[in-house]
Amino acid sequence: MSSARHDGRQPDQLRPISFIPHVAPHAAGSVLVSFGNTRVICAATIDEDVPRWMKMQRVEGGWLTAEYSMLPYSTLERKDRDISRGKLDGRSSEIQRLIGRALRAVTDLSKLGSRTIWIDCDVLQADGGTRTASITGGCVALAIALNKLMAAGKLKAFPLTKLVSAISAGVVNGQPVLDLDYIEDKDASVDFNVVMTESGEFVEVQGSGEEAVFTGAEMSAMLELATKGSAELVALQKKAILEADKPSGDALASLAAAFGR
């Protein structure tokens, strides 16, 4: 495949992906995930209780939910905090619901016991694909937290049924490409976000033309790219989860290395 991308990547090539675990020491599981220059801290915390609606409806098991936010300095121009506007903006609300749906799709809530797991995704630096990075990193943080619960004897069976990841694909300058950064995303004629399990099943597909239309062939090409990218992400997720259980080094040094310091 010939390259027509501004950063020299091939159309089917991911940006450099990395996971640095244990960046939030007070969380049950945490990871700094990087998709190129997009960096998100994903942290899992555990509440030994369930939402009121579950108690009222006598729903057995536990619950998993997510929150998403972009820090004020994550974009080129300062982004106001949601609290300063008095409400969550529509984009953040839509993304955090997507993260929650994606992770619940691969979690057996009946095995969680009477507890809630919160997945907090805070964007440190945004360069396209913050929602896909949040889902992919959120799954790693969740797995780390569940491993801790299992090791502590608080779970009888592992609730995570399989890994889930997400990746973008789009049409840029007439070429279907994988994992769009901001420059590509703003100029894309078509933009897809694809959430998939490690078994190759689709959890959710979000796609639309940006004042443009797309063909069935282009859609098939984007889904093929996303499938390839998802498989690569799952391999990296598995490696990150396994390495998170090993004795960790200096987290600050790892963070400095991730930011090129």
State how far the Cα of 58 lies from the Cα of 62, in Å rounded to an integer: 11
State how far the Cα of 190 lies from the Cα of 168, in Å rounded to an integer: 11
Of 233, 180, 248, 188, the closest CA to residue 18 belongs to 233
State how far the Cα of 61 lies from the Cα of 119, in Å rounded to an integer: 18
Q: Which residues are annotated as a binding site for phosphate?
A: 91, 129-131
> Tokens at residue 71, please?
């820090």
Looking only at the bridges linking them, the beta strands covering 38-47 and 29-35 are antiparallel
User: Which 8-state DSSP code applies to residue 61?
Assistant: S
Give residue 237's Cα distance to chain centre.
Answer: 11
Which residues, other chains included, contact 159 with Cβ-Cβ below 8 Å and sequence gap of 6+?
Answer: 107, 108, 109, 111, 112, 146
Q: Which residues are annotated as a binding site?
A: 91, 129-131
* DSSP SS3 for 206: strand
State how far the Cα of 224 lies from the Cα of 200, in Å rounded to an integer: 11
